[in-house]
Chain A
């Protein structure tokens, strides 16, 4: 692989980032995150007849079930246009005629979009974290920090997938369709299918396979990372035996998340590298 020119990466990333800052994408998404996080922190337990902040772990658990739908969708919408948009508008040729490599183009765009996502995520949830931090201990705050970090990782995996779709799709309409289909499959359908299979087979012959299959979906990895990995939560939900201990190892889960970022980008490059 040729050497990457960091200067070029920075130029491309900066443009993507500034575009999202300027068209107010960053502030809009940060605002959505802030409002949702606040509403969930204070009214998330309203169904149980109580209103108010009920501790960090309950809040994180409620937030996880929101973020798992919202963030993948936002990341896919952020990234599906990255390459196919330039191709369709006719600006890709001019970009590729510059003294830059195709890998730099993909990575630069990815980094810029990821930075936009990171700023909105950290600003949106971070602001709420500051509000919630009154009266909770440092460990609870650290767990919230972990949640924000894993949310960002979740966003980055779907952003990576979006860039892959953007390279593969023939036009923007196809790319957006593929993005929505991926969201539908990975976020909504995948767990249902797994559950269905598990019930249909009584979970017996493949008892070890099902938890491993969860690792093939970044949304599930995110859920495990935040819920199952928490001692209290496992006790609370009585899930202590549902997942084998090795699969809830945060390092393993982190590595799986990283693979979900790297592999789609590598596939995108493989199909984009040859003119």
Chain B
């Protein structure tokens, strides 16, 4: 059993009239890659700032690596935390190397750790140029290098891939994967659902400051009972099609497109039955594609059916 690296319990934060975070609870086990999903302004950044002790909650408690945030020993915990803020703001007058050195000094990290990090994030060539000459992606990578100083055990990354090009994004997730292998817990926020889809171990959906659901993508899919889409195509001269084949399975909807491809929508439970029926037929389809509901479908599903909250608690 993994220890809980992040433990958020009943946290509430109010800014004047606005309830920015409303009774949010979730936990992240050590070594997991966890996504915080929500629109801009949903409360993701506030939640991250609460977890870092940059804000004090009005109610509830947060523990990081077993220590209460803002408790007497939290300063030590901060040595083992890396943080990349949203739209990271660095000092324009410092060079990349100087920037990293400054944060290393504050964390009491050996200055010799800086050069390999710059190398790792492909900033070695620009290390001695002032940050004001950096592109947005380079700033983001320098911010990430800063977060990695001192081999943190927990990483908080707020919209970490904004400003990165597709190649940069892939490289970024490859790095996160390596870190995960070393047992680092990563919490990252994003509104880019497609990007997180196959990469996170678990996620929390935040809307209007409230936790709508938390768990693995599969758990959330099942809780919503979103339909699976099966695309099937037959040779043009084959007669019959799926309608008769699937007569025995209720609750399926079948659409046929102009070019003869069928899209069958069925529940998760019936997925295997539908596929077996299709394959067992005398005229089996010559092509099949199974499309699981995407993270976007899940996200939209929860915005349409918010009352299903409780079902998806992990």
Contacts and interface: CB of A to CB of B under 8 A. Distances in A.
Whether A and B are associated in the same complex: the answer reads yes
Contacts of A149: none
B87 A90 contact: yes
A126 B108 CA distance: 37
Interface string A94-109: 1111111100000000
Interface string B48-65: 010011111000000000
Interface stretch (B21-29, B78-86, B247-255, B256-264): B78-86
A187 to B, nearest CB: 31
Given A15-B102, A98-B78, A99-B79, A93 B107 contact: no
Contacts, number: 61
Residue in B49, B53, B105, B143 whose Cβ sees the most chain A Cβ within 10 Å: B105
Contacts of A15: 102
B8 interface: no
B85 A94 contact: yes
B222 to A, nearest CB: 37
Nearest to A91: B89
A101 B75 contact: yes
B89 A89 contact: yes
Nearest to A89: B89
Contact of B49 (A12, A91, A93, A98): A93
Contact of A90 (B52, B56, B76, B89): B89
Interface string B67-80: 00010000110110
Contacts of B55: 275
Interface string A1-34: 0000001100110010001001100000000000
A99 B76 contact: yes
Contact of B89 (A94, A96, A275): A94
Interface string B84-119: 010111110100000000110111100000000000
A274 B83 CA distance: 20
Given A94-B146, A99-B107, A275-B55, A23 B79 contact: no
Interface of B: 49, 52-56, 70, 75-76, 78-79, 81, 83, 85, 87-91, 93, 102-103, 105-108, 143, 146
Given A96-B54, A275-B53, 7 more contacts: A11-B106, A12-B106, A91-B91, A94-B85, A95-B106, A97-B53, A97-B85
Interface of A: 7-8, 11-12, 15, 19, 22-23, 89-91, 93-101, 274-275
